[in-house]
Amino acid sequence: YLAHWPEYFIVAEAPGGELMGYIMGKAEGSVAREEWHGHVTALSVAPEFRRLGLAAKLMELLEEISEKKGGFFVDLFVRVSNQVAVNMYKQLGYSVYRTVLEYYSASSGEPDEDAYDMRKALSRDTEKKSVIPLPHPVRPEDIE
């Protein structure tokens, strides 16, 4: 990731030098199929630095980079059970595009968990086609 998409690695640092949070992303997909997009691979804010709007800021930066690259949309995967995160992304303008069954493999003894594939259209997607939800869930093998 760092070798391919260094610009998508952003870290926030506090005045005392502590790491507040980070975001990691990439860009992929076919331009011809209007699927060229930014992807949020990981986003995390340390508990001591919550409720400062930092996650929103980091997402904003990733979206800005994706816009510069001419992406049609930004997407991310999130555990269906992670209501806190799902709500946060909804507030930032993301909607559920599709469900991916058993995307997350469990660590120990628990069943695999489904993921929501959430998307936000960027300015290049003028008709907001990329965020029209799919009527049925998919499996991890079906993802490009």
Contact positions vs another protein (CB under 8 A) = 6-7, 10, 13-16, 18, 20, 47-53, 61, 64-65, 68-69, 82-84, 107-108
DSSP annotation of 138 reads: B
Cα–Cα distance measured from residue 87 to residue 137, given in angstroms and rounded to the nearest whole number? 20
For another protein, the closer CB: 76 or 131: 76
What's the closest the beta carbon of residue 138 comes to another protein, in angstroms?
24
Cα–Cα distance measured from residue 138 to residue 84, given in angstroms and rounded to the nearest whole number? 23
For another protein, the closer CB: 66 or 131: 66
What's the closest the beta carbon of residue 48 comes to another protein, in angstroms?
5
Cβ neighbours for 133, distance < 8 A, ≥ 6 positions apart:
95, 96, 97, 98
For another protein, the closer CB: 69 or 128: 69
**Which residues make beta-bridge pairs with 118?**
76, 96
What's the closest the beta carbon of residue 90 comes to another protein, in angstroms?
17
- Maximal CA-CA distance, the chain: 48
